[in-house]
Amino acid sequence: MAGEPPLNLGLLLFIPYRAMESRVFAGLAEAGFDDFTPAQARVFQRIAPDGSRLTDLAEQAQITKQSAGFLVDQLERAGYVERAPDPTDARARLVRIAPRGAAAIPVAAAIVAEVEAEWEAHLGRPRMAALRQHLGRLRELTDPYR
C-alpha cells in the first residue's frame, strides 16, 4: 500500500515460507498424515539419512534437548520416527525415520514442487532461478548446519 513502510526482509522471507508450509500440512492431512505438526516437522526435517542423535536435532532446530525429546516422543508414538542404537557409540541412540515418516516425505516433496512451480509461473524462470541463487548464497551466512 502506498505510504506504508516497506516490510523487512525477514517478514518477506517468512510470508512465502508460511504459505508453503500451510499447503504442505494441508496436503499431508489430506493424504492421511493429519497428526503431524509444524513443531514436529522442524525436528523431523533435520534427521540425517542414517539417523541423528537427539542433541544434534535439538541444536539444529535451535530448541532445548528436552523440547526435542518431547517432539521425538510424539513422532515416535505416531510412527514417523524410531529410536535405534548408535552403531558408533553403544551408550547413544539415534533417531531414524520410520516407514510412516518415509511415506510422508514424497507427499510433502510433491506439494513443495507444486508450490515452487506456481511461484516460477508467477515470477518467471529467470527470476525464480535468481531467487534460488540469492537465497542459497544467503544460506552461506545464515545456516551453520548446511
Mean pLDDT, rounded, for 82-88: 93
Instruction: Indicate the pTM of the whole model.
Output: 0.87
Instruction: Note the pLDDT tens digit of each residue in 15-24.
Output: 999 999 999 9
Which positions ≥6 away from 120 have C-beta within 8 Å?
A: 128
The three cell numbers locating residue 133: 541463487
Number of domains present in the structure of the chain: 1
Percent of the chain topping pLDDT 70: 97
In the beta sheet, which residues pair with residue 52? 95
Angle at 59 between CA 21 and CA 69, to 5 degrees: 80
Mean pLDDT of 116-125: 98
Q: Is residue 32 part of a domain?
A: yes
Confidence band of 142 (pLDDT split at 50, 70, 90): confident
Residue with cell 516425505: 105
Residue 138 lies in a domain: yes
Q: Answer whether residue 4 is part of any domain.
A: no
Q: What angle do CA 139, 12, 40 make, to 5 degrees?
A: 65
Q: Is residue 80 part of a domain?
A: yes
Is 2 among the domain residues? no
Tell me which residue range forms the domain holding 115: 9-142
The set of cell numbers assigned to 87 is 552403531
Asked whether residue 136 is assigned to any structural domain, the reply reads: yes
